[in-house]
Structure 1
Amino acid sequence: MPARTPHIAVIGAGLAGLAAAARLRAHGVDVTVFETGDVPGGLVRTETIGGHRFDTGATVLTMPSLIVDTVTQLGVSAREALDRLAAAPVDPSYVMNYADGASLSIPHDAAAVPDAVAEALGARAGAGAADLLGWLRRVYDAEFDTFIDRNFDPTGLVDARTRRAAARLVRLRTLGGLTGAVSRFVDDERLQRAFTFQALYAGVPPHRARAIYAIIADMDIGRGVSAPAGGMGRVGRVIADALVDADVEIVYGTTVRALRRDHDGTVTAVVTDDDTIAVDAVVATAERDAVARLADERPRRRLRYSPSAVVVHGVLPVGATDTWRSGHHTVDFGRAWTQTFAEITGRRGRLMSDGSFLITRGAVGDPDTFIADGAESVSVLAPTPNLESADLDWNVLAGPYVAEILATLAARGYPGIDAMRVLRVDHPRTWADAGLPAGTPFSAAHTAAQTGPLRTRNVWPTSRNLILAGSATVPGVGIPPVLVSGGLAADRVTDLLRGDDGTR
């Protein structure tokens, strides 16, 4: 008799689950993806609110090549994958406005960044930016393949490949602080902000983050930001459609309630409201504590979570934004910087006293999607403490705080934004009600004790065939790391099925 084809369950059709399913299917196993919602993509999504379209999760797309790589595993050509994704360069990738009146537009093409910096901030800053970009690329080259896109087990921490890469990172002086590393190349504090604000994605202040996180700046400023036609939700749909074409079943509107395990912890089935489905392994993309509940366990390690955010989605009449110094992604910096991060990341968190904000205007590059009925969709993100560090009553506070944010921005040079018709406000309580721990969509922070091999491992400690993917596990938070995590999870399953679950 022919050997039975293994059946793998993937819990969650976010990008990590979709990436895991793609690689597993490419390896010839049967895959079923279970998704509670009715669309793929997880926190990378585009929604209609009051008749208007908004990217309501991640808004910054970097390294779209990882999406193409995911889809091509399923027999789609690279050209066809690019056509389906329909991602266009966002140029400028960012507009950065400063409290002293300066404005810096970051070109999509990294080769043009030094001249843009020189024009906005002076020749010395431009020369420093050129040197910094070169260093960022060297950090990426030393770090990505060995420390990000790779599964680790204890022996892998001391093998020759790891030692060589670690030695390169030491020579690049990445073990010190991020702000200090960037300041070796640029002494203009405004430009330092441009290359370190990305540490917020990792949940740590730039002055406390390790310089290894400079890789994030290379991923966006160094490689440019893109935007898929129709909004960020297209990313999940493109991968999901390719999976369905490859005979992967995606079951929407279905929640996995429990895992069946045998005496040694091996998962034998997943339990939904309507069925019990036998499986050979499970890839779970939920947050760690949610997976623990499925396994009927309580984690012993307490995690520290990233800050959260208030996100305002609203509309303005077409033309109202014409006088703004803005692009698709605009970062508006307050005068405070270190203080701001201390307020939102401290163990006793506080609202920003002098906020910095991200304004998203997808209509800059995609008016057909983000303009409707004479109104433009505009979103504003304000970082906040999470609910563990500041358990604020957001259901009461959100309205007044949004009014304060919009009034602040109107005074900073975005006239009319305080008259925006607000259609929805997401805040820490929104995220908590959606099941996200500490009320943050940014998962566990990349503190020293929660990064690299110290981050939650992607093999569940009591079930060797329960594999984790997503931002809660390795390598971490953000679209590129989450896509990578799905592939790493699939590799864990493949190694397990062939009886080799050691270091790759």
Structure 2
Amino acid sequence: MVVVGAGLSGLSCALHLLGAGREVVVLEREDHPGGRAGRLDMDGFRVDTGPTVLTMPELLDEAFAAVGESVGDRLELLPLAPAYRASFTDGSTVDVHTDRERMAAEVARVAGLREAVGYLRLRDWLTRLYEVEMRSFIDARFDSPLDLLGPDLVRLAAMGGFRRLSRVVGGHLKDERLRRVFSFQSLYAGVAPDRALAAYAVIAYMDTVAGVHFPKGGMRAMGEALAGAAAKAGAVLRYGESAHRLERRGDRVTAVITERGERLPCDHVVLTTDLAAAHRLLDHRSRRPLPHRYSPSAVVLHLGTDRTWDHLAHHTISFGTQWERTFTEIIDEGRTMSDPSLLVTQPTLTDPSLAPDGHHLLYVLAPAPNLAAADIDWDSEGPRYRDRIVAVLEARGMTGLDASVRAEHLVTPADWARQGLARGTPFSLAHTFAQTGPFRPRNTVPGTANAVLAGCGTTPGVGLPTVLVSGKLAAARVVAGTERRAR
């Protein structure tokens, strides 16, 4: 088996294949594992360039368990308390705790006892929602929309899963600040809360109920740990090598040809590249009547500073005043936010080893339109937008931020595109109804019998937990395919 890409989905797939007794070769174009959970070292600051929020670590454990290991064998996961701190322009803050009683007390402090009761109802609903979705809609293989049919579809509908997210959350919570805390996660799925299905509140479950962790050594440690377990179990990991083309015979891929011209024979190939790149390798053209819709992108500013600010948690969401306007500008108008809402992550609060002594590391994410939605010359606009983001943060309490910067790196949608990501977004296809579940590009490709897809562009979708599941589902496809062929 050849797995193209040593990102988290590819490594998850490799571990599950190894656990099923398959021989696995993993090709990775970078010189290290991790994929979009990338890395950048700048002047002693150890930067994570991809996801910063780790939820559902049991899915990592499931991948390790396939080869007889566990998360604890390879990683030290540190629970974050609070999981987030939400900061508002009126000066108020909400600390988001995983613990039920502690969070209820925080909600009561911020908005009163009635809202605390509403929070407890919402929490119970989120838990039920997760239980239904995980077993039937996330950790599930779809071959057609008919696979949706079943008792859990009825349960999901009865729970309000097909209503709008903002309305369902608003049915439990009246305080606008709390509504934002439990609905902003739809941005991960590329849809505004007032347009997203309530089913995507499952992401809020992962964040606010299941809890948020951080691996000691940074998010990059996950790729290293998974790759280490795969190598120990017998996988051959080949770094600095890209797949150039696929050799075919009829409806089967017979070999992967590398950029160096080497031929790697294979019984199956698993492609974890960006969806558009995978389709190019397979020479596949989608038959969808409408083109795919991509998620918004992000501008990310990595800053190494010589100071910190007391009001920051590990993850701080700095909300602007015009929350709804944000989505209109990014998604509908193709403009940058006039009143930015920003995610500020300071991992050195949890792991000081990621920066030189006495220094800190900041990861600032600003949602932005993707390249198809906006006509922005990011090479010229990027530095100006960087200054604007810094000015906003200074006005919101991070006084002296600009003067404290000792190292920095800016990433814009144009940079994501240069990395080969379609439409310049790291978040792939948006989770609209027409691109969800069985309507999302499947992990099999018509016309090719032994190629399987994994990663955020296919099922179940975007997000660190779901790409780990994606790898497992891809491995299951491969195993089922080889067993059928053997018969």
TM-score of the superposition, structure 2-length normalised?
0.96
Question: Which of 423, 434, 437 is equivalent to 1:449?
Answer: 434
Aligned partner of 1:182 in structure 2 is 169
Per the alignment, in what secondary structure is the counterpart of residue 27 of structure 2? strand
Aligned partner of 1:357 in structure 2 is 342
Q: How does 1:329-348 map to 2 (within 5 A)?
A: 329-346=315-332, 348=333
Question: Which of 138, 143, 149 is equivalent to 2:133?
Answer: 143
Given that 1:181 and 1:211 are in contact with CA atoms closer than 8 Å, whether structure 2 keeps it comes out as: yes
Letter in 2 for 1:337: W
Aligned partner of 1:229 in structure 2 is 216
Question: Which of 369, 387, 392 is equivalent to 1:385?
Answer: 369
Aligned partner of 2:410 in structure 1 is 425
1:414 is aligned to 2:389: no
1:321 is aligned to 2:313: no
1:17 is aligned to 2:3: no
1:341-373 deviation per Cα after TM superposition (whole angstroms, max 9, x unaligned): 111122x4111111100001001111122x314
Alignment CA distance shift 1:420-1:436 (3 Å): farther
- Percent of aligned pairs with the same amino acid: 43
Per the alignment, in what secondary structure is the counterpart of residue 209 of structure 2? coil
Alignment CA distance shift 1:155-1:472 (3 Å): closer
**CA deviation after TM superposition for structure 1 residue 50, in Å:** 2.4
Letter in 1 for 2:305: L
Aligned partner of 1:219 in structure 2 is 206
Question: Which of 31, 40, 52 is equivalent to 2:33?
Answer: 40
Question: Which of 441, 457, 468 is equivalent to 1:483?
Answer: 468
Counterpart CA distance in 1 for 2:42 and 2:454 is 30
Given that 2:297 and 2:426 are in contact with CA atoms closer than 8 Å, whether structure 1 keeps it comes out as: yes
Counterpart CA distance in 1 for 2:104 and 2:346 is 25
Counterpart CA distance in 1 for 2:207 and 2:216 is 19
Per the alignment, in what secondary structure is the counterpart of residue 464 of structure 1? strand
Q: How does 1:93-104 map to 2 (within 5 A)?
A: 93-104=83-94
Aligned partner of 1:469 in structure 2 is 454
Per the alignment, in what secondary structure is the counterpart of residue 452 of structure 2? strand
Given that 2:143 and 2:442 are in contact with CA atoms closer than 8 Å, whether structure 1 keeps it comes out as: no
Counterpart CA distance in 2 for 1:277 and 1:368 is 40
**CA deviation after TM superposition for structure 1 residue 110, in Å:** 3.8
Aligned partner of 2:115 in structure 1 is 125
Counterpart CA distance in 2 for 1:380 and 1:282 is 36
Question: Which of 388, 394, 409 is equivalent to 1:404?
Answer: 388
Aligned partner of 2:295 in structure 1 is 306
Aligned partner of 2:254 in structure 1 is 268
Given that 2:168 and 2:198 are in contact with CA atoms closer than 8 Å, whether structure 1 keeps it comes out as: yes
Letter in 2 for 1:417: L
Given that 1:268 and 1:280 are in contact with CA atoms closer than 8 Å, whether structure 2 keeps it comes out as: yes
Counterpart CA distance in 2 for 1:114 and 1:314 is 34
Letter in 2 for 1:274: G
Per the alignment, in what secondary structure is the counterpart of residue 95 of structure 2? strand
Letter in 2 for 1:89: P
Per the alignment, in what secondary structure is the counterpart of residue 247 of structure 2? strand
- 5+ residue gaps, structure 2: none
Letter in 2 for 1:412: R
Aligned partner of 1:4 in structure 2 is none
Letter in 2 for 1:45: G
Counterpart CA distance in 2 for 1:363 and 1:253 is 30
Counterpart CA distance in 2 for 1:47 and 1:340 is 29
**CA deviation after TM superposition for structure 1 residue 294, in Å:** 1.0
Counterpart CA distance in 2 for 1:200 and 1:249 is 37
Per the alignment, in what secondary structure is the counterpart of residue 335 of structure 1? coil
**CA deviation after TM superposition for structure 1 residue 11, in Å:** 0.4
Structure 1 residue runs of 4 or more that deviate by more than 6 Å after TM superposition: none
Aligned partner of 1:245 in structure 2 is 232
Per the alignment, in what secondary structure is the counterpart of residue 499 of structure 1? helix
**CA deviation after TM superposition for structure 1 residue 156, in Å:** 5.5
Counterpart CA distance in 2 for 1:155 and 1:454 is 7
Letter in 2 for 1:329: H
CA RMSD of aligned residues (A): 1.5
**CA deviation after TM superposition for structure 1 residue 154, in Å:** 3.0
Counterpart CA distance in 2 for 1:367 and 1:119 is 31
Counterpart CA distance in 2 for 1:241 and 1:467 is 23
Given that 1:149 and 1:475 are in contact with CA atoms closer than 8 Å, whether structure 2 keeps it comes out as: yes
Residue correspondences, number: 482
Counterpart CA distance in 1 for 2:315 and 2:133 is 27
Letter in 2 for 1:188: D
Counterpart CA distance in 1 for 2:465 and 2:18 is 20
Per the alignment, in what secondary structure is the counterpart of residue 303 of structure 1? coil
Per the alignment, in what secondary structure is the counterpart of residue 488 of structure 1? helix
Per the alignment, in what secondary structure is the counterpart of residue 363 of structure 2? strand
TM-score of the superposition, structure 1-length normalised?
0.93
Alignment CA distance shift 1:100-1:230 (3 Å): same
